[in-house]
Copies of this chain bind each other. A is one copy, B any other.
Amino acid sequence: VRSNNSSNKIVLIIEYEGTRYHGFQYQIGVPTIQGEIEKALLKFIGERRRVMTASRTDAGVHARGQVVSFRTQSDRSIQTYVNGLNYYLPSDIAVREVYKVSSEFNVRREARSREYRYCILNSMSRSAISRYYSYLVRGNLNIENMNLACQALIGTHDFASFLTGDMSNIKSTVRNVFQAVVKREEEMVLFDVEANAFLPHQVRNTVGALIKVGLGKITVNDFIEMMEERKPGLAGPTAPARGLYLMRVNYPVPFQEINNENL
């Protein structure tokens, strides 16, 4: 019985610099991450395949650990995918890891959490090296107050106030935030957040509101009240995409622990 082999499902862990892309999702006539991956797949395995993603990123947003999957009839060994696809992909997109998974595996539905990081350059002067990778905030940020506001984010809450952009597919604005913390590393202020899932622009609107707290423009109580009002667009302003990274997507069983031989 070899019928299982007739359609393999492959998972790729992808890194990209989002600067020159119109977001993850395929659009006709403009460069997208999905479009580039599907083009590279066509060249490498000779099949026109749709890739699924764990977390769609907006235009300009970066990823260190995006997860995508696709089906294939190809029986190329999975070890060849990393170098094979990287050969065809542009230099600002890279396959970092590859795994074979069960054919029923769904990268979006089965993800338990997404981790995002936002990088604020907290300095009086702009940076050259991190110009595409951070957002410059000149005023001195109060990290302690920003972390007090972060405490209010943790748990299961209605995050409607942090929603802007495409609301067409939003059935519920309740999300479960597992972790939210701000830390200073030299001149960088990093916001790390993990949740089961995020609303459109949720992280960037959260960062916009946290910066207001950090600069003393609003109090931690103002932040909490804004959150409790549950009105789309109340939080913000939406921080620029260039500071945002999808760091990792977590699953019940890490891909590294899946025994490919048993599939």
Contacts and interface: CB of A to CB of B under 8 A. Distances in A.
Interface of A: 15-17, 62, 64, 82-83, 86, 91-97, 123-129, 131, 133
A15 to B, nearest CB: 5
B95 A17 contact: no
Contact of A128 (B82, B94, B127, B128): B94
Contacts of A82: 124-125
Contacts of A97: 125
A131 to B, nearest CB: 5
A38 B162 CA distance: 46
A91 B17 contact: no
Interface centre among A86, A95, A97, A126 (most CB of B within 10 A): A126
A125 B127 CA distance: 28
9 contacts: A15-B127, A15-B128, A15-B129, A62-B129, A64-B129, A91-B128, A92-B131, A93-B128, A94-B131
Given A92-B131, A131-B92, A86 B15 contact: no
A92 B82 CA distance: 31
Given A82-B124, A91-B126, 16 more contacts: A17-B129, A62-B129, A64-B129, A82-B125, A83-B125, A91-B128, A91-B131, A92-B128, A93-B128, A94-B125, A94-B126, A94-B127, A94-B131, A95-B125, A96-B123, A96-B125
Contact of A126 (B62, B86, B126, B127): B86
Contacts of A124: 82
A160 B115 CA distance: 49
Contact of A86 (B94, B125, B133): B125
Contacts of A91: 126, 128, 131
Contacts of A93: 128
A48 to B, nearest CB: 24
A206 B114 CA distance: 41
Contacts of A133: 129
Nearest to A62: B129
A159 to B, nearest CB: 28
Name the residue in A83, A128, A131 with the highest tally of chain B Cβ atoms < 10 Å from its Cβ: A128
